[in-house]
Amino acid sequence: MWNKLRWKSLLVVAVAGLAIWLSYPPLDVRDEEGNVVKEGKINLGLDLQGGMHLVLQVDTSRLTPDEARDAPQRALEVIRNRIDQFGVMEPVIQLQGRDRLLVQLPGVTDRERAKEIIGRTAHLEFKLVEEDPVLFKKAVAGEVVEGYELKHITTPDGKREPLLVETDVVLTGDMLVNATTEFAQEGFGQPYVSLELNAKGANIFADVTGRNIGSRLAIVLDGEIYTAPVIRERIPSGRAQISGNFSVQQARDIALVLRAGALPAPVDIIEERSVGPALGEDSVKKGINAIIIGGIAVLAFMVLYYLFAGAIADLALVLNILIITGALSYFGATLTLPGIAGLVLTIGIAVDANVLIFERIREESRLGKSFRAAISAGYDKAFWTILDANVTTLITALILFQFGTGPIRGFATTLSIGILASMFTALVVTRLVLDMIALSRPNMKRLPMLQFFRKPNIPFVKVRKIAYVVSILAIVLGMALFFRRGGKNYGIDFTGGNLQQFKFTEAASATEIRDVLAGIGLGDSVIQQFGEGREVIVRSFKGKTEEIISGLREKFGPGSFETMRVEEVGPAVGADLRRAAVKAMIFAMIGICLYISFRFEFRFAITAIIALAHDVMISLGMIALTGREISLPVIAALLTIVGYSINDTIVLFDRIREDRKFMRKATLAEIINASINQTLSRTVLTSLTTLLVVVALFIFGGKVINDFAFVLLVGVLVGTYSSIFIASPLLIEWSGRKVVRR
């Protein structure tokens, strides 16, 4: 026995050591001046370090079928070249679907410059200018002049001058080999873009300039004439230049996009999520505070209630967090704000396995078994319950990962790793410690623990119909309010629109902000103030991000506020996200239904699904009642509720299945009532520890994740209620006493 325990000890020590080695230091270590001294092992998401998340749609409507087929891939390569030259560290650029590109730029805070560089087509053309006054007058008068088109050029004094250019292109950017920023020798050293053509382009350029001395040659970029110099002589060098009233940065950016190549088709930004570094840093601090506070509360409670056994469980919880951080580092996963929430929630859920085991050991000790025998029987009986409960939660997490995006996938990843880690620490680590104690102290009879409920015999089943009525009323009222609010229930993730969060140096008046919004046609926007009036969130359903920022800057003055985050979602993306959310919920229900049907009976699966629908509908009603909105994090919370609630329900189902083998003469109602009472201590303890971390998340997690934490808070309470009063009692209404085998 000792030999077996030694091997287990080596395994646990090796896992702990590997986790520490992989994850240390988890976050960047900075000196007093804020410089990074040692890079952290865990990748932080854009919502934690600042940056931009863009979804681009490639417009292939004007391309031939052959061109359209590979246009998204070619666009991806062009954008990757541009971003590489832009200097972004560890960007993410990938195809998403058939004609969309996902672009993530960590640490990028200059939104407009980044969008300009990424989205610019960079279609370069050289066209001859027609100087014939007759043709020019006709074109200015609005007449169609065959073979020509009227364009405009901005003069040095800022005026727009019309120019008539040939529609035929003499040279395109395909023959460009380099573009650099240079400075004029004369004047004030104005920057310009110097172009270098390949051999073929140089020959064409020499021929065109040689045959058109005295004429003007327009250089057109993305349909706009930047410069139209007079050709003084034949130019054999294959060099040209784009001049204009550029700043140095503008000239460099034009050169950058020209070097990277032209996009094969225009791209539209249909989704943008930008987070400023200040908000990201604030989110990290608040997330870590929530973890520390929630974790300490759980650790303290376990020691106070389970005494020495609680200290063993605490050891397992600490190792659980180490394994999660080590796994995130090893797999190169990205920790997001919802991911931190998943970590906090995992702490609460991980306690459930230990509570199940300890309560089982207590029951076996009551039957007169020795300490070693009680440990062995307790783990054996708790194993299948732990497995069933965690597998159903894992099904939900995997479906969430499949249909989620960005931060939601981060949440699902952390939760999935946490579930596997908690099973290892509960079934291997705590078992190892208890077995070593039992062997070293043969005279020990039992584990000392406190107990809330000694032998409860509460008639839960008798009041089930009252509970049904209460639940039906709560659902009807909640859903009535939900449908009455209509579109107001949904955030911009699902409706399209934009959300902007600003932090003012001094408290800003909501009335003044409303006046600014009204001036640009957004008077019906939702304004939310917090942080003593200095922080403001503006939600609108029209994409006027820059107009809002310009209006606020004009009203309150430059430097009076900082843009903390911008979220802009197009209606097409909103519709896609709605479909994905519905799919995720449906597939989660189907997956859970199939698993419960396999492990128990089909009727168990149906009553569990009814209870899950009950929990989700009441949560939606509470969202409507409190005036909150359904966003992607809230969908993650709803799916987490599904996982948590089914976890609770399966523990009860498992006990009902077990009791039916021993209470053969009892009615189904008596068996169910006995099972509820037998697991009541575990149900209350698990809910209480989970609530400790969710409340910490709700209070200390920050504004960005407050709705997520609120829905979880409601879900934990409602899920506990439904497992006792809805899921199990509904089995009584469904006749039949088929015996189920493991």
Final residue belonging to a domain, choices 262, 292, 309: 262
Q: How many CB atoms lie within 10 A of CB 542?
A: 15
- Give residue-wise pLDDT tens across range 90-144: 788 888 878 889 888 887 878 888 888 888 888 899 999 998 999 999 999 988 8
Say whether both 299 and 212 belong to one domain. no
Query: Residue 234 is part of a domain; what is its CATH number?
Result: 3.30.1360.200
Using CA atoms, how far residue 147 sits from 100, 132, 207, 210, 220, in Å, is 36, 13, 21, 22, 17
Using CA atoms, how far residue 455 sits from 366, 379, 679, in Å, is 12, 21, 11
Domain annotation covers residue 491: no
Distance CA 495, CA 235 (A): 55
Say whether both 398 and 319 belong to one domain. yes
Distance CA 78, CA 87 (A): 15
- Please write down the long-range contacts of 196-201, taking CB distance under 8 Å and 24 or more positions apart: 196/238, 196/239, 197/171, 197/238, 197/239, 197/240, 198/238, 199/238, 200/175, 201/171, 201/175, 201/176, 201/177, 201/238
Domain annotation covers residue 18: no
693 band by pLDDT with thresholds 50, 70 and 90? confident
Say whether both 94 and 153 belong to one domain. no
- Give residue-wise pLDDT tens across range 207-266: 999 999 999 999 998 888 988 989 988 999 888 888 877 788 888 888 888 888 888 888
Q: Please give the structure tokens belonging to residue 385.
A: 């319950």
Q: Please give the structure tokens belonging to residue 420.
A: 């596997």
Say whether both 474 and 534 belong to one domain. no
Domain annotation covers residue 434: yes
Mean pLDDT of the chain: 85
Question: In this predicted structure, which of 168-172, 234-238, 342-346 has the lowest mean pLDDT?
Answer: 342-346
* Number of folded domains that form the chain: 4
Domain range for 82 is 51-121+269-275
Q: What angle do CA 639, 643, 644 make, to 5 degrees?
A: 115
Query: Residue 76 is part of a domain; what is its CATH number?
Result: 3.30.70.3400
Domain annotation covers residue 38: no
- Name the more confident of 276 and 209: 209
Say whether both 245 and 363 belong to one domain. no
Domain annotation covers residue 492: no
Domain annotation covers residue 33: no
Final residue belonging to a domain, choices 211, 229, 262: 262
Say whether both 620 and 718 belong to one domain. yes
Domain annotation covers residue 449: no
Say whether both 253 and 283 belong to one domain. no
Domain annotation covers residue 242: yes
pTM of the model: 0.77
Final residue belonging to a domain, choices 569, 591, 625: 569
